[in-house]
Amino acid sequence: MTSTDDPFPEFAATRRLILKGAVGVALIGLGEFSFGPVPALAAANDKWPEGAFKQKGEADAIKALYGKTAEVSDKVKLDAPEIAENGAVVPMSVTTTLTDVTSISFLVANNPNALAASYNIPPGTIPSVANRLKMAKTSNVTVIVEAAGKLYSATREVKVTVGGCGG
């Protein structure tokens, strides 16, 4: 259709505009849909630290995650069982009296990958976490607390009678 034999050229132009508008709306709709599922994570603006989780050793994982070393502190309390009967589910928790805590991480030295979990503690959240981890065998469990830009740690040995990584 050319404008010369269109009896209503103005109408055709309007129709073209309407069509353009419809495409625009459709695109916006698609955009919203594809970004829909992860708003909370996007808001936190924090990527999953893949490099740190890939490290095998405990020291390497701490370095990859924080880029510095930790000092042992009695202000960090790690609560873990002395003997874990089932390595697949070892409950452990950490509390600390330190202030300005920004992050807490759990590392199991003898696991295939030492870093087990890392928690982001925003201001207003109490620096105390409880979770359940898998342990391949008897190992030292280290917890790292980042407070006011410095790292503090506590370590405990947990004896495992049945490993959590066997079949």
Binding another protein (rule: CB under 8 A), the pick from 116, 145, 147, 151 is 116
Closest distance of CB 73 from another protein, Å: 20
Please tell me whether residue 25 binds another protein under the rule CB under 8 A: no
Binding another protein (rule: CB under 8 A), the pick from 77, 134, 137, 150 is 134
Q: Tell me the C-alpha to C-alpha distance, in Å, between residue 54 and each of 57, 64, 111.
A: 9, 9, 12
Please tell me whether residue 18 binds another protein under the rule CB under 8 A: no
Collapsing DSSP to helix, strand or coil, 104 comes out as: strand
Please tell me whether residue 129 binds another protein under the rule CB under 8 A: yes
Binding another protein (rule: CB under 8 A), the pick from 121, 143, 144, 154 is 121
Collapsing DSSP to helix, strand or coil, 102 comes out as: strand
Binding another protein (rule: CB under 8 A), the pick from 7, 29, 124, 149 is 124
Nearest to 136 by CA among 98, 118, 109: 109
With b for 16 or more beta-carbon neighbours within 10 A and e for fewer, the 35-64 pattern comes to: eeeeeeeeeeeeeebeebbebeebebbbeb
Chain positions contacting another protein, by CB under 8 A: 37-41, 43-44, 46, 48-49, 53, 88-91, 93, 108, 111-113, 115-122, 124-126, 128-136, 164-167
